[in-house]
Structure 1
Amino acid sequence: MEGNGNPTAIEAIDLVKDYGSGDTAVHALRGVNVRFEKGRFTAIMGPSGSGKSTLMHTLAGLDSATSGRIVFDGADITRMDDDQLTLLRRHRIGFIFQSFNLLPMFTAEQNIVMPLTLAGEKPDRAWFDMLVDTLGLRSRLDHRPNELSGGQQQRVAIARALISKPSLVFADEPTGNLDSVSSAEVLSFLKSSVRELNQTIIMVTHDAVAASYADRAIVFADGRIVADEDAPTADRMNALLMAERERATRAMGR
Protein backbone atom coordinates (compact mmCIF):
# COMPACT_ATOMS: atom_id res chain seq x y z
CA MET A 1 0.00 0.00 0.00
CA GLU A 2 1.38 3.35 -0.96
CA GLY A 3 1.20 6.16 1.56
CA ASN A 4 0.95 9.88 1.13
CA GLY A 5 3.48 10.40 -1.65
CA ASN A 6 6.34 11.52 0.61
CA PRO A 7 9.87 10.74 -0.57
CA THR A 8 11.25 7.36 0.49
CA ALA A 9 13.42 7.25 3.63
CA ILE A 10 14.45 3.60 3.34
CA GLU A 11 13.44 0.74 1.09
CA ALA A 12 13.97 -3.03 1.07
CA ILE A 13 14.11 -4.69 -2.35
CA ASP A 14 13.81 -8.50 -2.60
CA LEU A 15 15.31 -8.72 0.88
CA VAL A 16 16.27 -12.23 1.99
CA LYS A 17 17.78 -13.24 5.33
CA ASP A 18 18.57 -16.88 6.10
CA TYR A 19 20.17 -18.25 9.25
CA GLY A 20 22.00 -21.55 8.88
CA SER A 21 21.88 -23.70 5.77
CA GLY A 22 20.42 -26.89 4.35
CA ASP A 23 17.52 -28.60 6.12
CA THR A 24 18.01 -26.60 9.33
CA ALA A 25 18.02 -23.18 7.64
CA VAL A 26 15.70 -20.56 9.10
CA HIS A 27 14.19 -18.26 6.44
CA ALA A 28 13.71 -15.09 8.51
CA LEU A 29 13.00 -12.79 5.54
CA ARG A 30 11.61 -14.21 2.31
CA GLY A 31 12.02 -11.68 -0.50
CA VAL A 32 10.57 -8.68 1.32
CA ASN A 33 9.73 -5.56 -0.70
CA VAL A 34 8.72 -2.54 1.36
CA ARG A 35 9.32 1.21 1.37
CA PHE A 36 9.06 3.58 4.30
CA GLU A 37 8.31 7.23 3.62
CA LYS A 38 9.97 10.25 5.22
CA GLY A 39 8.00 12.00 7.93
CA ARG A 40 5.83 8.99 8.76
CA PHE A 41 5.43 6.72 11.77
CA THR A 42 5.24 3.03 10.79
CA ALA A 43 4.60 0.11 13.14
CA ILE A 44 5.74 -3.43 12.31
CA MET A 45 3.77 -6.18 14.04
CA GLY A 46 3.74 -9.95 14.00
CA PRO A 47 3.99 -13.03 16.18
CA SER A 48 7.30 -14.05 17.77
CA GLY A 49 9.61 -15.50 15.13
CA SER A 50 7.76 -13.74 12.29
CA GLY A 51 10.89 -11.85 11.15
CA LYS A 52 9.85 -8.36 12.28
CA SER A 53 12.95 -7.81 14.45
CA THR A 54 15.19 -9.31 11.76
CA LEU A 55 13.75 -6.82 9.29
CA MET A 56 14.51 -3.91 11.61
CA HIS A 57 18.05 -5.10 12.38
CA THR A 58 18.76 -5.64 8.68
CA LEU A 59 17.35 -2.24 7.68
CA ALA A 60 19.53 -0.62 10.36
CA GLY A 61 22.66 -2.37 9.10
CA LEU A 62 23.03 -4.27 12.40
CA ASP A 63 22.56 -7.57 10.58
CA SER A 64 23.70 -8.43 7.06
CA ALA A 65 21.26 -9.47 4.33
CA THR A 66 21.63 -12.83 2.58
CA SER A 67 20.48 -11.23 -0.67
CA GLY A 68 18.52 -8.25 -1.91
CA ARG A 69 19.15 -4.55 -1.37
CA ILE A 70 18.40 -1.89 1.21
CA VAL A 71 18.40 1.66 -0.12
CA PHE A 72 18.68 4.40 2.51
CA ASP A 73 18.56 7.99 1.22
CA GLY A 74 19.64 6.72 -2.18
CA ALA A 75 22.61 4.62 -0.99
CA ASP A 76 22.67 0.81 -0.93
CA ILE A 77 23.69 -0.06 2.64
CA THR A 78 24.10 -3.76 1.81
CA ARG A 79 27.29 -2.74 -0.02
CA MET A 80 28.75 -0.72 2.85
CA ASP A 81 31.65 -1.94 5.01
CA ASP A 82 31.61 -1.92 8.83
CA ASP A 83 33.19 1.53 9.09
CA GLN A 84 30.65 3.07 6.71
CA LEU A 85 27.78 1.41 8.58
CA THR A 86 29.11 2.66 11.93
CA LEU A 87 29.23 6.23 10.62
CA LEU A 88 25.76 5.86 9.15
CA ARG A 89 24.33 4.68 12.47
CA ARG A 90 26.17 7.39 14.41
CA HIS A 91 24.95 10.30 12.29
CA ARG A 92 21.86 9.26 10.37
CA ILE A 93 20.01 6.62 12.42
CA GLY A 94 18.62 6.78 15.95
CA PHE A 95 17.70 3.80 18.14
CA ILE A 96 15.16 3.48 20.96
CA PHE A 97 15.27 0.21 22.88
CA GLN A 98 12.83 -1.57 25.18
CA SER A 99 15.40 -1.61 27.99
CA PHE A 100 16.18 2.17 27.76
CA ASN A 101 19.97 1.43 27.84
CA LEU A 102 20.71 4.58 29.87
CA LEU A 103 24.06 4.87 31.65
CA PRO A 104 23.27 4.82 35.40
CA MET A 105 26.13 7.04 36.59
CA PHE A 106 25.21 9.95 34.28
CA THR A 107 22.43 12.51 34.55
CA ALA A 108 19.53 12.66 32.11
CA GLU A 109 21.22 15.55 30.27
CA GLN A 110 24.52 13.65 29.99
CA ASN A 111 22.67 10.58 28.72
CA ILE A 112 20.80 12.64 26.10
CA VAL A 113 23.98 14.20 24.65
CA MET A 114 26.05 10.97 24.94
CA PRO A 115 26.00 10.13 21.18
CA LEU A 116 27.46 13.58 20.45
CA THR A 117 29.95 13.35 23.34
CA LEU A 118 31.22 10.05 21.90
CA ALA A 119 31.53 11.63 18.46
CA GLY A 120 33.39 14.64 19.92
CA GLU A 121 30.60 17.00 18.88
CA LYS A 122 28.63 19.68 20.68
CA PRO A 123 24.84 19.62 20.79
CA ASP A 124 22.79 22.17 18.90
CA ARG A 125 21.35 23.92 21.98
CA ALA A 126 18.17 25.08 20.24
CA TRP A 127 17.47 21.50 19.14
CA PHE A 128 18.33 20.18 22.61
CA ASP A 129 15.98 22.69 24.23
CA MET A 130 13.16 21.83 21.84
CA LEU A 131 13.55 18.10 22.46
CA VAL A 132 13.70 18.53 26.24
CA ASP A 133 10.64 20.77 26.28
CA THR A 134 8.66 18.63 23.80
CA LEU A 135 9.40 15.58 25.95
CA GLY A 136 8.67 17.36 29.23
CA LEU A 137 12.13 16.66 30.69
CA ARG A 138 13.23 20.19 31.64
CA SER A 139 12.89 19.60 35.41
CA ARG A 140 14.59 16.18 35.25
CA LEU A 141 17.86 16.99 33.47
CA ASP A 142 20.07 16.70 36.57
CA HIS A 143 18.47 13.43 37.73
CA ARG A 144 20.15 10.06 37.26
CA PRO A 145 18.16 7.18 35.72
CA ASN A 146 17.36 5.58 39.11
CA GLU A 147 15.65 8.84 40.13
CA LEU A 148 13.34 8.75 37.10
CA SER A 149 10.15 6.78 36.41
CA GLY A 150 10.12 4.22 33.59
CA GLY A 151 8.26 6.64 31.35
CA GLN A 152 10.75 9.43 32.09
CA GLN A 153 13.69 7.09 31.38
CA GLN A 154 12.16 6.14 28.04
CA ARG A 155 11.65 9.82 27.19
CA VAL A 156 15.34 10.44 27.97
CA ALA A 157 16.15 7.54 25.63
CA ILE A 158 13.96 9.12 22.91
CA ALA A 159 15.73 12.47 23.31
CA ARG A 160 19.08 10.65 23.06
CA ALA A 161 17.92 8.94 19.85
CA LEU A 162 16.89 12.29 18.33
CA ILE A 163 19.74 14.54 19.56
CA SER A 164 21.96 13.95 16.53
CA LYS A 165 19.03 14.81 14.18
CA PRO A 166 18.93 11.38 12.55
CA SER A 167 16.89 11.08 9.39
CA LEU A 168 15.50 7.74 10.58
CA VAL A 169 14.68 6.33 14.04
CA PHE A 170 14.16 2.64 14.84
CA ALA A 171 12.17 1.85 17.98
CA ASP A 172 12.32 -1.76 19.21
CA GLU A 173 9.34 -2.50 21.53
CA PRO A 174 9.78 0.98 23.08
CA THR A 175 6.84 0.51 25.46
CA GLY A 176 7.63 -3.11 26.36
CA ASN A 177 8.75 -2.25 29.90
CA LEU A 178 6.19 0.48 30.61
CA ASP A 179 2.77 0.59 32.26
CA SER A 180 -0.19 1.72 30.16
CA VAL A 181 -0.04 5.38 31.27
CA SER A 182 3.70 5.68 30.53
CA SER A 183 3.20 3.79 27.25
CA ALA A 184 0.54 6.26 26.09
CA GLU A 185 2.84 9.14 27.09
CA VAL A 186 5.81 7.76 25.15
CA LEU A 187 3.75 6.86 22.06
CA SER A 188 2.20 10.35 22.03
CA PHE A 189 5.70 11.84 22.05
CA LEU A 190 6.84 9.58 19.21
CA LYS A 191 3.78 10.63 17.23
CA SER A 192 4.40 14.32 17.94
CA SER A 193 8.08 14.03 16.96
CA VAL A 194 6.93 12.73 13.57
CA ARG A 195 4.46 15.61 13.24
CA GLU A 196 6.49 18.47 14.69
CA LEU A 197 10.10 17.45 13.96
CA ASN A 198 9.32 15.66 10.65
CA GLN A 199 10.96 12.53 12.07
CA THR A 200 10.72 9.15 10.35
CA ILE A 201 10.08 6.35 12.84
CA ILE A 202 9.89 2.59 12.30
CA MET A 203 8.66 0.81 15.42
CA VAL A 204 8.55 -2.92 16.11
CA THR A 205 5.78 -3.78 18.56
CA HIS A 206 3.58 -6.70 19.58
CA ASP A 207 0.99 -4.30 21.01
CA ALA A 208 -1.98 -3.40 18.79
CA VAL A 209 -2.71 -0.32 20.90
CA ALA A 210 0.85 0.92 20.34
CA ALA A 211 0.46 0.29 16.61
CA SER A 212 -2.69 2.43 16.56
CA TYR A 213 -0.55 5.53 17.23
CA ALA A 214 1.27 4.99 13.92
CA ASP A 215 0.35 6.35 10.48
CA ARG A 216 0.76 2.88 9.02
CA ALA A 217 1.10 -0.66 10.37
CA ILE A 218 2.59 -3.69 8.67
CA VAL A 219 1.90 -7.24 9.81
CA PHE A 220 4.68 -9.75 9.37
CA ALA A 221 4.32 -13.54 9.41
CA ASP A 222 6.76 -16.25 8.40
CA GLY A 223 9.22 -13.77 6.89
CA ARG A 224 6.66 -12.02 4.70
CA ILE A 225 4.36 -9.01 4.85
CA VAL A 226 0.78 -10.30 5.16
CA ALA A 227 -1.01 -6.98 5.78
CA ASP A 228 -0.28 -3.28 5.28
CA GLU A 229 -2.72 -0.84 6.87
CA ASP A 230 -2.92 2.94 6.67
CA ALA A 231 -4.41 4.69 9.75
CA PRO A 232 -4.43 1.47 11.81
CA THR A 233 -6.79 1.00 14.74
CA ALA A 234 -6.15 -1.29 17.70
CA ASP A 235 -9.23 -3.39 16.84
CA ARG A 236 -8.16 -3.82 13.23
CA MET A 237 -4.59 -4.79 14.18
CA ASN A 238 -5.82 -7.25 16.82
CA ALA A 239 -8.13 -8.83 14.23
CA LEU A 240 -5.26 -9.19 11.74
CA LEU A 241 -2.96 -10.71 14.38
CA MET A 242 -5.68 -13.15 15.51
CA ALA A 243 -6.30 -14.21 11.90
CA GLU A 244 -2.58 -14.77 11.46
CA ARG A 245 -2.35 -16.88 14.65
CA GLU A 246 -5.33 -18.98 13.53
CA ARG A 247 -3.77 -19.49 10.10
CA ALA A 248 -0.46 -20.55 11.71
CA THR A 249 -2.29 -22.94 14.07
CA ARG A 250 -4.16 -24.53 11.15
CA ALA A 251 -0.91 -24.87 9.18
CA MET A 252 0.74 -26.67 12.12
CA GLY A 253 -2.25 -29.03 12.41
CA ARG A 254 -1.99 -30.22 8.82
Structure 2
Amino acid sequence: MTSQTRMAYPTAIEAIDLVKDYGRGENTVHALRGVNVRFEKGRFTAIMGPSGSGKSTLMHTLAGLDSATDGHIMFNGADITAMTDNQLTLLRRKKIGFIFQSFNLLPMFTAEQNILMPLTLAGDKPDRAWFRQLVRTLGLEQRLNHRPNELSGGQQQRVAIARALISKPALVFADEPTGNLDSVSSAEVLGFLKQSVKELDQTIIMVTHDAVAASYADRAIVFADGRIVADEANPTAEVMNELLMAERDRATRQAAAEAEAMPTASGPRHRR
Protein backbone atom coordinates (compact mmCIF):
# COMPACT_ATOMS: atom_id res chain seq x y z
CA MET A 1 0.00 0.00 0.00
CA THR A 2 1.42 3.36 -0.98
CA SER A 3 1.18 6.51 1.09
CA GLN A 4 -1.29 7.89 -1.48
CA THR A 5 -3.52 4.85 -1.01
CA ARG A 6 -3.34 5.18 2.78
CA MET A 7 -4.69 8.70 2.60
CA ALA A 8 -8.05 7.16 1.59
CA TYR A 9 -8.43 5.81 5.12
CA PRO A 10 -9.61 8.13 7.91
CA THR A 11 -6.93 8.94 10.47
CA ALA A 12 -7.20 7.47 13.96
CA ILE A 13 -4.15 9.23 15.43
CA GLU A 14 -1.22 11.14 13.97
CA ALA A 15 2.23 12.20 15.18
CA ILE A 16 3.65 15.39 13.70
CA ASP A 17 7.37 16.19 14.10
CA LEU A 18 7.28 14.22 17.36
CA VAL A 19 10.38 14.50 19.55
CA LYS A 20 11.08 12.77 22.85
CA ASP A 21 14.36 13.28 24.72
CA TYR A 22 15.46 11.83 28.02
CA GLY A 23 18.16 13.51 30.10
CA ARG A 24 20.13 16.65 29.36
CA GLY A 25 23.39 17.78 27.85
CA GLU A 26 25.86 15.08 26.86
CA ASN A 27 23.66 12.45 28.52
CA THR A 28 20.60 13.22 26.39
CA VAL A 29 18.95 10.18 24.82
CA HIS A 30 17.02 11.01 21.65
CA ALA A 31 14.22 8.42 21.81
CA LEU A 32 12.08 10.03 19.07
CA ARG A 33 13.66 12.19 16.39
CA GLY A 34 11.00 14.24 14.59
CA VAL A 35 8.65 11.33 13.86
CA ASN A 36 5.84 11.87 11.36
CA VAL A 37 3.34 9.03 11.10
CA ARG A 38 -0.42 8.54 10.83
CA PHE A 39 -2.42 5.47 11.80
CA GLU A 40 -5.67 4.60 10.02
CA LYS A 41 -9.04 3.87 11.61
CA GLY A 42 -10.18 0.26 11.51
CA ARG A 43 -6.67 -1.03 10.80
CA PHE A 44 -4.13 -3.21 12.61
CA THR A 45 -0.62 -1.73 12.67
CA ALA A 46 2.50 -3.35 14.13
CA ILE A 47 5.54 -1.36 15.29
CA MET A 48 8.83 -3.27 15.32
CA GLY A 49 12.44 -2.52 16.08
CA PRO A 50 15.39 -3.57 18.23
CA SER A 51 15.51 -2.83 21.94
CA GLY A 52 16.04 0.88 22.50
CA SER A 53 14.83 1.83 19.02
CA GLY A 54 12.02 4.05 20.33
CA LYS A 55 9.03 1.86 19.43
CA SER A 56 7.67 1.63 22.98
CA THR A 57 8.36 5.33 23.57
CA LEU A 58 6.29 6.12 20.48
CA MET A 59 3.37 4.06 21.77
CA HIS A 60 3.53 5.51 25.29
CA THR A 61 3.71 9.05 23.92
CA LEU A 62 0.82 8.48 21.51
CA ALA A 63 -1.25 7.13 24.40
CA GLY A 64 -0.47 10.12 26.60
CA LEU A 65 1.38 7.93 29.11
CA ASP A 66 4.57 9.90 28.44
CA SER A 67 4.95 13.56 27.52
CA ALA A 68 6.48 14.75 24.26
CA THR A 69 9.52 17.02 24.23
CA ASP A 70 8.33 18.68 21.01
CA GLY A 71 5.85 18.13 18.21
CA HIS A 72 2.15 17.29 18.22
CA ILE A 73 -0.16 14.30 18.48
CA MET A 74 -3.57 14.76 16.89
CA PHE A 75 -6.38 12.50 18.11
CA ASN A 76 -10.07 13.11 17.37
CA GLY A 77 -9.25 16.65 16.26
CA ALA A 78 -7.44 17.55 19.49
CA ASP A 79 -3.74 17.94 20.24
CA ILE A 80 -3.11 15.65 23.22
CA THR A 81 0.34 17.20 23.81
CA ALA A 82 -1.51 20.30 25.02
CA MET A 83 -3.82 18.44 27.44
CA THR A 84 -3.63 18.53 31.23
CA ASP A 85 -3.14 15.36 33.28
CA ASN A 86 -6.86 15.29 34.11
CA GLN A 87 -7.81 15.65 30.45
CA LEU A 88 -5.43 12.84 29.52
CA THR A 89 -6.86 10.60 32.23
CA LEU A 90 -10.40 11.14 30.93
CA LEU A 91 -9.24 10.58 27.35
CA ARG A 92 -7.62 7.25 28.20
CA ARG A 93 -10.63 6.18 30.24
CA LYS A 94 -13.13 6.90 27.47
CA LYS A 95 -11.27 6.64 24.17
CA ILE A 96 -8.20 4.40 24.56
CA GLY A 97 -7.81 0.73 25.48
CA PHE A 98 -4.64 -1.06 26.57
CA ILE A 99 -3.48 -4.66 26.23
CA PHE A 100 -0.24 -5.48 28.02
CA GLN A 101 2.26 -8.34 27.95
CA SER A 102 1.29 -9.16 31.55
CA PHE A 103 -2.44 -9.78 31.57
CA ASN A 104 -3.04 -7.75 34.77
CA LEU A 105 -6.21 -9.66 35.60
CA LEU A 106 -7.55 -9.50 39.15
CA PRO A 107 -7.26 -13.04 40.53
CA MET A 108 -10.24 -12.90 42.89
CA PHE A 109 -12.71 -11.99 40.12
CA THR A 110 -14.22 -14.07 37.33
CA ALA A 111 -13.47 -13.52 33.66
CA GLU A 112 -16.74 -11.62 33.27
CA GLN A 113 -15.99 -9.37 36.24
CA ASN A 114 -12.50 -8.68 34.89
CA ILE A 115 -13.88 -7.78 31.47
CA LEU A 116 -16.42 -5.38 32.97
CA MET A 117 -13.94 -3.83 35.45
CA PRO A 118 -13.28 -0.60 33.46
CA LEU A 119 -17.01 0.11 33.39
CA THR A 120 -17.40 -0.86 37.04
CA LEU A 121 -14.66 1.57 38.08
CA ALA A 122 -16.18 4.34 35.96
CA GLY A 123 -19.67 3.69 37.32
CA ASP A 124 -21.00 2.95 33.83
CA LYS A 125 -23.48 0.27 32.84
CA PRO A 126 -22.33 -2.27 30.24
CA ASP A 127 -23.84 -2.52 26.79
CA ARG A 128 -24.91 -6.16 27.07
CA ALA A 129 -25.25 -6.61 23.30
CA TRP A 130 -21.67 -5.39 22.87
CA PHE A 131 -20.49 -7.61 25.73
CA ARG A 132 -22.10 -10.68 24.12
CA GLN A 133 -20.55 -9.83 20.75
CA LEU A 134 -17.12 -9.46 22.33
CA VAL A 135 -17.17 -12.73 24.26
CA ARG A 136 -18.59 -14.58 21.26
CA THR A 137 -15.94 -13.17 18.91
CA LEU A 138 -13.19 -13.98 21.41
CA GLY A 139 -14.51 -17.45 22.18
CA LEU A 140 -15.05 -16.78 25.90
CA GLU A 141 -18.71 -17.73 26.28
CA GLN A 142 -17.89 -20.91 28.23
CA ARG A 143 -15.24 -19.23 30.41
CA LEU A 144 -17.04 -16.24 31.92
CA ASN A 145 -17.43 -17.79 35.39
CA HIS A 146 -13.81 -18.97 35.56
CA ARG A 147 -11.16 -17.12 37.55
CA PRO A 148 -7.76 -16.33 35.95
CA ASN A 149 -6.01 -19.33 37.54
CA GLU A 150 -8.57 -21.58 35.85
CA LEU A 151 -7.75 -20.20 32.39
CA SER A 152 -4.89 -20.89 29.97
CA GLY A 153 -2.48 -18.10 29.04
CA GLY A 154 -4.25 -17.58 25.72
CA GLN A 155 -7.64 -17.43 27.43
CA GLN A 156 -6.34 -14.92 29.99
CA GLN A 157 -5.03 -12.71 27.22
CA ARG A 158 -8.38 -12.91 25.41
CA VAL A 159 -10.06 -11.77 28.64
CA ALA A 160 -7.59 -8.86 28.71
CA ILE A 161 -8.47 -8.05 25.09
CA ALA A 162 -12.20 -8.06 25.90
CA ARG A 163 -11.50 -5.79 28.90
CA ALA A 164 -9.65 -3.37 26.61
CA LEU A 165 -12.54 -3.31 24.13
CA ILE A 166 -15.56 -3.31 26.48
CA SER A 167 -15.77 0.49 26.73
CA LYS A 168 -15.70 0.77 22.91
CA PRO A 169 -12.45 2.76 22.75
CA ALA A 170 -11.62 4.48 19.49
CA LEU A 171 -8.06 3.19 19.70
CA VAL A 172 -6.37 0.18 21.31
CA PHE A 173 -2.64 -0.06 22.12
CA ALA A 174 -1.14 -3.52 22.54
CA ASP A 175 2.33 -3.70 24.13
CA GLU A 176 3.97 -7.07 23.36
CA PRO A 177 0.60 -8.82 23.90
CA THR A 178 2.02 -12.27 23.09
CA GLY A 179 5.33 -11.87 24.93
CA ASN A 180 4.32 -14.26 27.73
CA LEU A 181 2.58 -16.82 25.55
CA ASP A 182 3.65 -20.02 23.81
CA SER A 183 3.46 -20.22 20.02
CA VAL A 184 0.00 -21.83 19.98
CA SER A 185 -1.51 -19.27 22.38
CA SER A 186 0.26 -16.45 20.50
CA ALA A 187 -1.31 -17.49 17.22
CA GLU A 188 -4.67 -17.74 18.96
CA VAL A 189 -4.47 -14.24 20.43
CA LEU A 190 -3.11 -12.63 17.25
CA GLY A 191 -5.87 -14.26 15.24
CA PHE A 192 -8.45 -12.78 17.59
CA LEU A 193 -6.83 -9.33 17.41
CA LYS A 194 -7.00 -9.48 13.63
CA GLN A 195 -10.60 -10.68 13.85
CA SER A 196 -11.59 -7.87 16.23
CA VAL A 197 -10.20 -5.30 13.79
CA LYS A 198 -12.17 -6.85 10.94
CA GLU A 199 -15.44 -7.68 12.70
CA LEU A 200 -15.57 -5.07 15.47
CA ASP A 201 -13.96 -2.23 13.45
CA GLN A 202 -11.30 -1.61 16.08
CA THR A 203 -8.08 0.33 15.51
CA ILE A 204 -5.10 -1.49 17.02
CA ILE A 205 -1.48 -0.36 17.29
CA MET A 206 0.76 -3.18 18.51
CA VAL A 207 4.38 -3.02 19.60
CA THR A 208 6.19 -6.32 19.04
CA HIS A 209 9.67 -7.74 18.51
CA ASP A 210 8.23 -10.81 16.73
CA ALA A 211 8.14 -10.80 12.93
CA VAL A 212 5.51 -13.56 12.94
CA ALA A 213 3.27 -11.42 15.17
CA ALA A 214 3.74 -8.47 12.82
CA SER A 215 2.61 -10.61 9.88
CA TYR A 216 -0.94 -10.62 11.32
CA ALA A 217 -1.13 -6.82 10.92
CA ASP A 218 -2.34 -4.80 7.94
CA ARG A 219 0.80 -2.70 8.16
CA ALA A 220 4.15 -2.90 9.93
CA ILE A 221 6.54 -0.08 10.77
CA VAL A 222 10.20 -0.66 11.64
CA PHE A 223 11.81 1.74 14.10
CA ALA A 224 15.53 2.38 14.63
CA ASP A 225 17.35 5.17 16.45
CA GLY A 226 14.10 7.04 17.05
CA ARG A 227 13.11 7.10 13.39
CA ILE A 228 10.94 5.09 11.01
CA VAL A 229 13.22 3.16 8.67
CA ALA A 230 10.63 0.96 6.93
CA ASP A 231 6.87 0.96 6.40
CA GLU A 232 5.35 -2.22 4.96
CA ALA A 233 1.79 -2.93 3.87
CA ASN A 234 0.54 -6.52 4.25
CA PRO A 235 3.77 -7.61 5.97
CA THR A 236 5.03 -11.17 5.95
CA ALA A 237 7.28 -12.72 8.59
CA GLU A 238 10.00 -13.23 5.97
CA VAL A 239 10.02 -9.61 4.85
CA MET A 240 9.97 -8.29 8.43
CA ASN A 241 12.82 -10.57 9.45
CA GLU A 242 14.85 -9.35 6.47
CA LEU A 243 14.19 -5.71 7.39
CA LEU A 244 15.15 -6.31 11.02
CA MET A 245 18.34 -8.16 10.03
CA ALA A 246 19.28 -5.37 7.64
CA GLU A 247 18.78 -2.82 10.42
CA ARG A 248 20.87 -4.87 12.86
CA ASP A 249 23.67 -5.15 10.29
CA ARG A 250 23.56 -1.40 9.69
CA ALA A 251 23.66 -0.69 13.43
CA THR A 252 26.61 -3.08 13.86
CA ARG A 253 28.57 -1.41 11.06
CA GLN A 254 27.82 2.02 12.47
CA ALA A 255 28.94 1.00 15.97
CA ALA A 256 32.15 -0.48 14.55
CA ALA A 257 32.85 2.69 12.58
CA GLU A 258 32.27 4.87 15.64
CA ALA A 259 34.55 2.67 17.74
CA GLU A 260 37.24 2.88 15.07
CA ALA A 261 37.00 6.66 15.05
CA MET A 262 37.25 7.05 18.83
CA PRO A 263 40.54 8.51 20.06
CA THR A 264 42.74 6.34 22.26
CA ALA A 265 44.93 7.42 25.18
CA SER A 266 47.83 7.92 22.77
CA GLY A 267 45.81 9.92 20.26
CA PRO A 268 43.44 9.26 17.34
CA ARG A 269 43.27 5.69 16.09
CA HIS A 270 44.60 5.19 12.55
CA ARG A 271 44.08 2.27 10.25
CA ARG A 272 47.14 0.42 9.03
Match of 2:18 in 1: 15
Match of 1:86 in 2: 89
Match of 1:150 in 2: 153
Match of 2:117 in 1: 114
Match of 2:52 in 1: 49
Question: The residue matched to 1:246 in structure 2 has which SS?
Answer: helix
Tell me which amino acid in the other structure corresponds to 2:61: T
Match of 1:60 in 2: 63
Q: What are structure 1's unaligned runs of at least 5 residues?
A: none
Aligned length: 254
Q: How far apart, in 1, do the equivalents of 2:225 and 2:181 lie?
A: 28
Q: How far apart, in 2, do the equivalents of 1:89 and 1:98 lie?
A: 18
Q: How far apart, in 2, do the equivalents of 1:135 and 1:88 lie?
A: 26
Computed over aligned residues only, the root mean square deviation of the Cα atoms, in angstroms, reads 0.7
Give the drift of 1:4.
6.2
Match of 2:264 in 1: none
Q: Aligned ranges for residues 19-38 of structure 1 at < 5 Å? A: 19-38=22-41
Give the drift of 1:162.
0.1
Match of 2:128 in 1: 125
Matched, 1:69 2:72: yes
Question: The residue matched to 1:139 in structure 2 has which SS?
Answer: coil
Matched, 1:218 2:228: no
From the CA coordinates, give the structure whose radius of gyration is larger.
2
Give the drift of 1:73.
1.2
Match of 1:160 in 2: 163
Q: How far apart, in 2, do the equivalents of 1:167 and 1:101 lie?
A: 21
Q: State the TM-score, normalizing by the size of structure 2.
A: 0.93
Tell me which amino acid in the other structure corresponds to 1:195: K
List per-residue Cα deviations over 1:82-139 (Å, max 9, x = no partner).
1110000001000000001111111100000000000000110000000001000011
The alignment-based identity, stated in percent, is 83
Matched, 1:196 2:196: no
Q: State the TM-score, normalizing by the size of structure 1.
A: 0.99
Q: How far apart, in 1, do the equivalents of 2:56 and 2:68 lie?
A: 13
Match of 1:171 in 2: 174
Match of 2:270 in 1: none
Give the drift of 1:6.
1.1
Deviant stretches of 4+, over 4 Å? none
